[in-house]
């Protein structure tokens, strides 16, 4: 059983002005290429900008009571030792996910009150704390209040942080994790399909995310079933990791009558960008969503997006950047997918409007603001 945390030491050149410790309960590894990939991308971009970056993170997404206890215990021991032995050398500690990761941030701020503590909420952490009371919620409130700057990946998430934890609005900032436009960019659909060995005539719907019920996969399957009987050459490609074995097995059994549903394991980002460019429509029917970074990545690849009117997706799909559907509504999802697949002009209009969202969330622009928070 491998319950190790990952510790990455990334050194810039001798002229480095800032040294930062990143703490996260998600980071990719051999167990999962996509587990917290956005945290790794940001850490590597900070290094490329000349910062000296240490990362201590949990890299094993596997569950089980014993495994979870072991990996979190290891994570906190390594984090505490790093703060104790090297804390004075850091200009800032940047915490991803408020609780329980942010507890190490509190330790750092207690030991070095003049140093910077930055925390980023990705959505699920706040959603869980809203519905909890007692010690976890009170500690979460203490973490965001002690932080010098709070980053929320979406507008609605910022509103929840301010409302639920009584944080001054001026220290809560909306910044997505950003997209790498060297990887995610407009490319020829024909070329992408050739590289992936996909039929050119196929009408392809594409989904990326954890293969769990909360991502709206039940409604997606039901909507696809409705469309399957009225549209030729239709396919649904789903890419991700099954986090809930029971649900994943149920989904396969429930929709076994639809052989044109194809499930693929998670891929690295260059391969993912090819799949996005190959698709006619990208769909994200989540029940909750902090921001919806994969939808933004699809936009960057020139693919129109259909997503639920929830969380960060509400704002991401505003201004005709995508089509919104009611959450948990298979009929509405089928209707929107149908209208988009049948209307090339609508597809082009959505792609055109979405480019403003892509430009606003370029990681090169966003990273400069994050660096400014480090002091």
Summarised one tens digit per residue, pLDDT across range 192-208 is: 999 999 999 999 999 99
The pLDDT of 117-121, averaged and rounded, is 96
Rg, C-alpha atoms of the chain: 21
Query: What is the phi/psi pair of residue 303, to 5°?
Result: -110, 130
Domains in the chain: boundaries: 5-180+362-373, 189-360
What does the pLDDT read at residue 110?
A: 96
User: Any idea which of 72-76, 98-102, 133-137, 253-257 has the lowest mean pLDDT?
Assistant: 133-137
Whether 18 contacts 89, CB under 8 Å: no
Residue with tokens 């060995």: 197
Q: Is the dihedral of CA 286, 293, 33, 31 positive or negative?
A: negative
Query: What is the phi/psi pair of residue 79, to 5°?
Result: -65, -45
Q: Which CATH architecture has domain 189-360?
A: 3-Layer(aba) Sandwich (3.40)
Separation between Cα atoms, residue 175 and residue 118, nearest integer Å: 13
Separation between Cα atoms, residue 358 and residue 346, nearest integer Å: 18
pLDDT at 5 over 80: no
User: Mean pLDDT, the chain, as a whole number?
Assistant: 91
pLDDT at 184 over 60: yes
pLDDT band, residue 156 (cuts 50/70/90): confident
Sequence length of the chain is: 375
What does the pLDDT read at residue 128?
A: 64
What does the DSSP 8-state code read for residue 221? H
pLDDT tens column, 201-245? 999 999 999 999 999 999 999 999 999 988 999 999 999 999 899
pLDDT at 90 over 80: yes
pLDDT at 129 over 80: no
What does the pLDDT read at residue 203?
A: 97
Residue that wins the pLDDT comparison between 15 and 285: 285
The pLDDT of 5-26, averaged and rounded, is 70
Helices vs. strands in the chain: H and E counts, helices first: 15, 13
Tokens describing residue 25: 């309960």
Residue that wins the pLDDT comparison between 22 and 291: 22
The pLDDT of 102-123, averaged and rounded, is 95
What does the pLDDT read at residue 35?
A: 84
Can you list the positions of beta strands (E) in the chain? 5-10, 19-24, 52-58, 92-96, 116-121, 149-152, 172-174, 203-208, 234-239, 261-264, 281-284, 305-308, 323-325
Separation between Cα atoms, residue 172 and residue 126, nearest integer Å: 14
Tokens describing residue 180: 């790498």
Residue that wins the pLDDT comparison between 131 and 145: 145
- Note whether 5-180+362-373 and 189-360 share their fold: yes
pLDDT at 326 over 90: yes
Cα 196 to the center of its chain, rounded Å: 24
Whether 22 contacts 43, CB under 8 Å: yes
Separation between Cα atoms, residue 79 and residue 173, nearest integer Å: 26
The pLDDT of 129-138, averaged and rounded, is 74
Separation between Cα atoms, residue 279 and residue 270, nearest integer Å: 15
What does the pLDDT read at residue 16?
A: 46
Q: At what angle do helices 134-146 and 155-165 cross, to 10 degrees?
A: 110
Tokens describing residue 275: 């799949």
Write down the pTM of the prediction.
Answer: 0.86
The pLDDT of 258-286, averaged and rounded, is 96
Strand, helix or coil for residue 256:
coil
What does the pLDDT read at residue 61?
A: 84
Query: What is the phi/psi pair of residue 254, to 5°?
Result: -65, -35
Q: Which CATH architecture has domain 5-180+362-373?
A: 3-Layer(aba) Sandwich (3.40)
What are the beta bridge partners of residue 19?
Answer: 52
Whether 328 contacts 219, CB under 8 Å: yes
């Amino acid at each position: 059983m491998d319950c190790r945390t990952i510790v990455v030491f990334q050194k810039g050149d001798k002229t480095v002005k800032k040294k930062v410790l990143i703490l996260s309960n998600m980071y990719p590894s051999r167990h999962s290429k996509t587990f917290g990939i956005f945290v790794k991308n940001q850490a590597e971009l900070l290094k490329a900008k000349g910062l000296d970056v240490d990362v201590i993170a949990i890299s094993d997404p596997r569950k089980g009571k014993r495994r979870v206890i072991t990996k979190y215990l290891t994570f906190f021991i390594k984090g505490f030792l790093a703060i104790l032995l090297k804390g004075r050398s850091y200009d800032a500690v940047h915490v991803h996910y408020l609780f329980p990761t942010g507890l190490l941030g509190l330790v750092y701020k207690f030991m070095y009150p003049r140093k910077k503590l930055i925390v980023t909420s990705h959505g699920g952490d706040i959603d869980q704390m809203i519905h909890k009371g007692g010690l976890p919620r009170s500690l979460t409130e203490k973490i965001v209040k002690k932080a010098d700057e709070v980053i929320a990946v979406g507008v609605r998430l910022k509103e929840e942080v301010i409302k639920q934890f009584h944080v001054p609005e001026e220290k809560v900032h909306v910044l997505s994790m950003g997209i790498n436009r060297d990887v995610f960019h407009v490319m020829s659909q024909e070329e992408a399909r050739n590289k992936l060995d996909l039929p050119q005539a196929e009408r392809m719907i594409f989904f990326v995310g954890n293969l769990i019920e909360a991502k709206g996969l039940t409604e997606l399957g039901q909507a696809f079933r409705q469309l399957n009987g009225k549209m030729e050459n239709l396919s649904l490609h789903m890419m991700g990791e099954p986090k809930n074995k029971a649900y994943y097995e149920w989904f396969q059994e429930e929709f076994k009558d639809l052989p044109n549903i194809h499930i693929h394991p998670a891929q690295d980002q260059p391969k993912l960008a090819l799949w996005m460019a190959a698709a006619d429509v990208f769909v994200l029917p989540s029940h909750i969503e902090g921001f919806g970074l994969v939808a933004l990545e699809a936009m960057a690849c020139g693919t129109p997006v259909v997503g639920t009117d929830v969380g960060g997706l509400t704002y991401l799909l505003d201004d005709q950047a995508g089509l919104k559907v009611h959450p948990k509504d298979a009929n509405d999802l089928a209707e929107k997918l149908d209208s988009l697949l049948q209307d090339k002009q609508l597809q082009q209009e959505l792609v055109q409007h979405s480019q403003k969202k892509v430009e606003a969330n370029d990681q090169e622009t966003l990273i400069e603001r994050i660096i400014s928070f480090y002091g």
